[in-house]
Amino acid sequence: MSASFSSFTIALLLQSAATPVAAPTASLSPVAHPEIWPTANARPSRDPKVEARIDAILKRMSVADKIGQLIQVDIASIEPSDLRTYKLGSILNGGNSGPGGNDLAPPVEWLKLADQFYEASMARTDGRPAIPVIWGTDAVHGNNNIPGATLFPHNIGLGATRDRDLMREIGHVTAIETAAAGIDWTFAPTLAVVRDDRWGRTYESYSEEPTIQADFAGAVIEGVQGKVGTKEFLAPDRVIATTKHFLGDGGTGGRDQGDARIPETALRDIHLGGYPSAIEAGTQSVMASFSSWNGAKMHGNKSLLTGVLKDRLHFDGFVVGDWNGHGQVDGCSNESCAAAINAGLDMFMYSGSGWKTLYDNTLKQAQSGEIPAARLDDAVRRILRVKIRAGTFDRGRPSSRALAGKMTLIGAADHRAIARRAVRESMVLLKNEGGLLPLKPSANILVAGVGADDVAQQAGGWSLTWQGTGLTNANFPNAETIWSGISTAVKTAGGTATLSADGSFAKKPDAAIVVFGEQPYAEFKGDRPNLEYSPDDKSDLELLRKLKAAGVPVVAVFLSGRPLWVNAEMNASDAFVAAFLPGTEGGGVADVLFRKKDGSVANDFRGKLSFSWPKRPDQYVLNRSDPGYDPLFQFGYGLTYAKPSAVPKLDEARPAGMAASSNGTIFGKGRVPEGWSLTLVEQDQSKVRLLGANATTATKRLTASAVDRRRQEDARALVWAGGPADARVEASGPLDLTRESNGELSLVVDVRVDRAGSAPVNLGMVSNDGKAVTVPITKTLAAGKPGEWQQVIVPLQCFAKRGIDMAHVTAPFVIATDGKLGLSMSDVKIDSAPVPMTKCGD
């Protein structure tokens, strides 16, 4: 990248001059040639009894019944009673959906709801076969949506363990804690091979190299589902697994839901990674990727979904879509997409109020032959096969199943012990000057840093909530923070441990452990423009430096979802540990950092990097096989107590041209991101760029001046004297906001009306074809109290719907009126609305 501007971390990796997108070339085609792909060694053995049972059921199903099986709906969009009428195949809980709209509902509520959905699905009096609904959930690091569950380290940490057997145990524990809540199916493991660490889902990946996925996949699947061909397979203490996201999700240039522009051989040799072993181990579902390959969305790619996955690799389970991903296929909408089914998708994953429309449309497409009958039957056959194999036809309602309701299994001591072992094995020792580690537990230890006593931060995204944010330690019963683990270890050995987030102390400690790192995020919210750690806030660095300056030996424990450029932080620490996102068992950290009481090593470090560590922030494509590979720490690096090694002083200078990033901020703290401009415009297009605090347009229709809200000159007062004029923020190049407008993000503007308007006021955006769209905010502004700050929130979808090209937005914020108006603004952001918002302005 490079670029003058690299800001706007909320995934706004600009497809601007600064970050050119490879032009489509003739050699990069989205059509695969199955014959050049590997074929799985063993075809899954089909049980003739199961197949005969499928035949018998299929025969009695109506076309409408069959369509129902193809649809999965998020529990936030459907009631159990709907399944009395609509015989849908599946439900899921999205990352932000819990029973009754409560993300934090206790396990019994999940089970109760599972029963209600199941019973409604089985209620039938018309003589047609009753087919049990199955419930899928993202149990991606333990059954992470349910309070009290054991949360394992995210996959990036597990990759560092290189411990295949541990993966099997983790898979099994996850299955047990999922089954206990009455849930049938997990959307895990993710087998993405992430090649560009700017991607917000890097932590969901075991490694940048496919060998680790290939090694782990079979073991995880066996853990979750039990071993094929044995009595374990889909026994009551197992659940259905998903291998996701097929295919090339890790190859999209660091952009969520992006486009992998790579040759077919790279897609095969890098990204197929663990799929063959997952299929051999019997993964029962595969999730299609949101992303594209050479310009075409995976949900519509027949050559890959059918040609490679089903025909060549002999996958005989079903392909589930990803969160309305079918709606992104050319010519499709969320409510209509025969193309995806025809390409080989077997089940739509749907969220929203229009699932009945999806059902009606798909039914019509089947009746008209647009979806061929054979394709429909094949999809249903696959879904029924999995349901039968998983015992859902025979085990009765969820609460009557062997493990369901045994809530003490959720967060059970032996499960937590496995997670704690995983934490010990996943940490990677990057630096240990003078053999500072392991520490003596009888010493006087200061524990500092914002991450020291915060389960949510150590657990990361996909923890209770989708983003893993908005939580306190109280939301995680059964969990232990890193601080708590240290405190117990030190106290037991007769030492003193003190928690002091800001690092202040009365008596100089023997050593300080500083726990800090990334705040939780998931999916596109974690996309970054480069790998600089915390570009806007250097308080962790200051804390490390302050302690070092006071002569205190410093151990840094770094929490992150990916390798980041931390040269300065590393220079300011004597020892530096990459702990990734360890989950709920923070005690595992102390297990490795401290000696035994007798002075011997308790647990040596075992973790080895499964992602290369950058020496510069612009090294986000940093994989062994890439040309010019020059990491700070290479793939496989990891010190031990037995084999120490020195780390020299590191270069702290940002490469020229690297700007600070700004977390979705369009205007904040009195500034726009570097390279952007706040501009005042009169209708005759005389533009004035507001460089300093104050400016006026040519004919003085609009004047801006600096005012204070929370701090000096952090806001701007805008005064319209009358006559069309607007204030706008222009980006340094076109922004691609398609991903953002596809989620729940809004344009969020903090304003204060200083003088009521005399004409309508509009909020808008402009794209680089010159098109401007607006929504009216006149009444919204008038409803606020004069002189008081208020938030105006407009979902990004509103601008998209009005026809602007969201892939090339040049001005993400425009406020305009023809009349007189006095208005101050302090913050303009692209963010989630504090309250769900669907209204487009007034």
Q: Which residues are near ligand BGC by CB under 6 A?
A: 94-96, 138, 187, 244, 290, 322-323, 466, 523, 743
Closest CA to 748 of 827, 822, 841: 827
Q: What is the DSSP string of 395-432?
A: S-SGGGSSSTT-GGGTT-HHHHHHHHHHHHHH-EEEEE
Nearer to ligand BGC, 315 or 323 (CB): 323
Q: Write the DSSP symbol of residue 790.
A: E
74 annotated active-site: no
* Calpha distance 598→628 (Å, rounded): 47
What are residue 278's phi and psi, to 5 degrees? -65, -40
* Calpha distance 807→741 (Å, rounded): 10
Nearer to ligand BGC, 96 or 498 (CB): 96
* Calpha distance 553→784 (Å, rounded): 53
Which residue is nearest to ligand BGC, using beta carbons? 94
Q: Write the DSSP symbol of residue 558.
A: E
Q: At what angle do helices 373-389 and 48-60 cross, to 10 degrees?
A: 130
Nearer to ligand BGC, 242 or 481 (CB): 242
Burial of 90 (0-12, 13-18, 19+ CB in 10 A): buried
Nearer to ligand BGC, 434 or 836 (CB): 836
* Calpha distance 492→441 (Å, rounded): 8
Work out how close the CB of 86 gets to ligand BGC at its nearest, in angstroms, rounded to a whole number: 21
Q: Which tokens is 175 given?
A: 């299955």
* Calpha distance 808→811 (Å, rounded): 9
Nearer to ligand BGC, 470 or 787 (CB): 470
Nearer to ligand BGC, 187 or 216 (CB): 187
* Calpha distance 712→690 (Å, rounded): 17
523 annotated active-site: yes
Closest CA to 221 of 279, 272, 178, 180: 279
Q: Which residues contact 417 (CB under 8 A, 6 or more apart)?
A: none
Nearer to ligand BGC, 351 or 703 (CB): 351
Residue 448 and residue 629 in contact, taking contact as beta carbons nearer than 8 Å? no
DSSP collapsed to 3 states, 19-45: CCCCCCCCCCCCCCCHHHCCCCCCCCC
Work out how close the CB of 346 gets to ligand BGC at its nearest, in angstroms, rounded to a whole number: 16
* Calpha distance 212→786 (Å, rounded): 60
Nearer to ligand BGC, 283 or 573 (CB): 283
Work out how close the CB of 441 gets to ligand BGC at its nearest, in angstroms, rounded to a whole number: 41
Residue recorded with tokens 């050995």: 493
Closest CA to 69 of 2, 132, 148, 152: 132
Nearer to ligand BGC, 196 or 523 (CB): 523
Nearer to ligand BGC, 204 or 540 (CB): 204
Work out how close the CB of 482 gets to ligand BGC at its nearest, in angstroms, rounded to a whole number: 27
- E strand or H helix at 650: none
Work out how close the CB of 326 gets to ligand BGC at its nearest, in angstroms, rounded to a whole number: 13
Residue 284 and residue 134 in contact, taking contact as beta carbons nearer than 8 Å? no
Work out how close the CB of 737 gets to ligand BGC at its nearest, in angstroms, rounded to a whole number: 14
Work out how close the CB of 411 gets to ligand BGC at its nearest, in angstroms, rounded to a whole number: 22
Nearer to ligand BGC, 203 or 533 (CB): 203
Nearer to ligand BGC, 255 or 716 (CB): 255
* Calpha distance 21→746 (Å, rounded): 26
Q: Which tokens is 27 given?
A: 């050699």
Q: Which residues contact 592 (CB under 8 A, 6 or more apart)?
A: 424, 427, 438, 602, 603, 604, 605
Planar angle of CA 441, 442, 443, nearest 5 degrees: 90
Nearer to ligand BGC, 383 or 681 (CB): 383
Q: What is the DSSP string of 445-500?
A: EEEESTTTT-HHHHH-SSBSBSSS-S--GGG-TT-B-HHHHHHHHHHHTT-EEEE-
What are residue 761's phi and psi, to 5 degrees? -115, 135
Q: What is the DSSP string of 91-145?
A: EEE-TT--GGG-TT--HHHHHHHHHHHHHHHH---SSSPP---EEEE--SSSSTT
Candidates 138, 322, 585, 726; catalytic one:
322
Planar angle of CA 663, 321, 233, nearest 5 degrees: 115
Candidates 523, 569, 618, 736; catalytic one:
523
Work out how close the CB of 140 gets to ligand BGC at its nearest, in angstroms, rounded to a whole number: 7
- E strand or H helix at 809: strand 809-817
Burial of 770 (0-12, 13-18, 19+ CB in 10 A): exposed
Work out how close the CB of 66 gets to ligand BGC at its nearest, in angstroms, rounded to a whole number: 24
* Calpha distance 18→289 (Å, rounded): 27
Buried b (16+ CB within 10 A) or exposed e, 170-194: bbbbbbbbbbbbbbbbbbbbbbbbb
Q: Which amino acid is at 616?
A: R
If one counts every other C-beta atom within 10 angstroms of the C-beta of residue 413, the result is 9
Active site residues: 322, 523
